[in-house]
Amino acid sequence: MDEDEDRQRLDPRVQRSRAAVLEAATALFLERGYVDTSTDDVAARAGVSKKTLYNTVGDKERLFTEVVLGVTAIAERFADDLVAALGDADDVAAALHALARRHLASVTSPTVVRLRRLASAESRRFPALAREYHRRAPDRVVSSLAAVLGDLDRRGQLRAPDPRTAAEHLAFLVVGPILDRVMFEGEAAVPEAAELDRRARAGVEVFLAAYGA
């Protein structure tokens, strides 16, 4: 990227246009799906010209990629935060429950559910994007969790000699059944907050029955 391109990319007006385009694209892809959304629709919803759309983000495929990968920031923040939250915990059971409840809230949020379903539906059209989404979101969370569980095992607070398997078990116990359901039925299938809390607690209790120190 040369200096002119770099200056243009950092121009506040360009950033505002880019944000408007991505917001419009996200809304339209979620409302209509990939096939039934056009760049004309996105430009009109964003209030920009089609030329501005192409200059700030790119074509329709690039728009879709930006939208899908944008949601991975939620998973990345969760993965970063859980290391500190769980790694310093004195009460491992309480910390695991808090982590499980937060994880459930994250994966069942309406935007995440809709985008995850959309990315899955378009995985044949965008196989590389589907793999990258998995690497940045679910796999990143499990890998970070495995690192923390390994530390807790070494400190004698858990019995997890195979931290990756333990992390996968915990993730499935907490989010697996609910995530399976919402992937087929959408966010209307997400239980109420009290039920999410009960499921998070129950998943952690089963996990600790197997891995508790």
| pLDDT (tens digit per residue) in 186-211 | 888 889 999 999 999 999 999 999 99
What does the pLDDT read at residue 1?
47
Of 77 and 172, more confident: 172
CA proximity to 65, closest of 1, 128, 136, 140: 128
Could you tell me if 11 and 91 lie in one domain? Answer: no
Query: What is the average per-residue pLDDT within 62-91?
Result: 81
What separation in angstroms does the CA of 205 have from each of 101, 176, 212? 13, 15, 9
Residues 144 and 196 in one domain: yes
Residues 100 and 201 in one domain: yes
> Which residue carries 């982590």 as its tokens?
99
Residue 10's pLDDT is 57
Task: Extract the tokens encoding 27.
Answer: 């809304």
Tell whether the model's pLDDT for residue 53 goes beyond 60: yes
CATH code of 186's domain: 1.10.357.10
CA 110 to each of CA 85, 175, 179, 183: distance values in angstroms, whole numbers, following the listed order: 25, 15, 12, 11
Computed from CA positions of residues 114, 139, 191, 101, in that sequence, does the dihedral angle turn out positive or negative? Answer: negative
Last residue of a domain, one of 49, 67, 85: 67
Question: Are 136 and 88 part of one and the same domain?
Answer: yes
pLDDT at 167 over 90: yes
Helices marked H in the chain — which ranges? 3-10, 12-32, 39-46, 50-56, 60-70, 72-87, 92-107, 110-121, 127-136, 138-154, 163-185, 193-211
Segment 110-131 mean pLDDT:
90
**Predicted local distance difference test score (pLDDT) of residue 8:** 53
Least confident of 7-11, 43-47, 89-93, 196-200: 7-11
Residues 90 and 150 in one domain: yes
How far is the C-alpha of 82 from the C-alpha of 97, rounded, in Å? Answer: 12
Q: Quick one: tokens of 153?
A: 């095992």
| Same domain? 123 vs 154 | yes
| Most confident option among 104-108, 160-164, 175-179 | 160-164
Tokens of 19: 């944000």
Residues 141, 93, single domain; the answer is yes
Indicate whether 118 and 89 sit together in one domain: yes
Please tell me whether residues 142 and 79 are part of one structural domain: yes
Residue 4: band (very low, low, confident or very high) from pLDDT cuts 50, 70, 90: very low
Whether residue 16 is predicted with pLDDT greater than 60 in this model: the reply is yes
pLDDT given at position 9: 54
What is residue 70's predicted lDDT score, i.e. its pLDDT? 84
Q: What is the pLDDT of residue 110?
A: 86
In this structure, the answer to whether residues 87 and 185 fall within a common structural domain is yes
- Residue with the bigger pLDDT between 90 and 147: it is 147
Give this prediction's pTM.
0.82
Q: State the average pLDDT over residues 79-98.
A: 81
What's the domain count of the chain?
2
The answer, yes or no, to whether residue 143 has pLDDT greater than 70, is yes
- If asked whether residues 7 and 94 sit together in one domain, one would say no
Give residue 128's domain range.
71-211
With beta carbons less than 8 A apart as the criterion, state whether 64 and 121 touch: no
Given 17, 37, 67, the domain boundary residue is: 67
| C-alpha distances in Å from residue 93, one per residue of 18, 33, 157, 205 | 43, 41, 10, 8
Provide the mean pLDDT of the chain: 88
Does one domain contain both 8 and 85? Answer: no
Residues 150, 166: Cα–Cα separation, whole Å: 9
pLDDT of 66 strictly over 50: yes
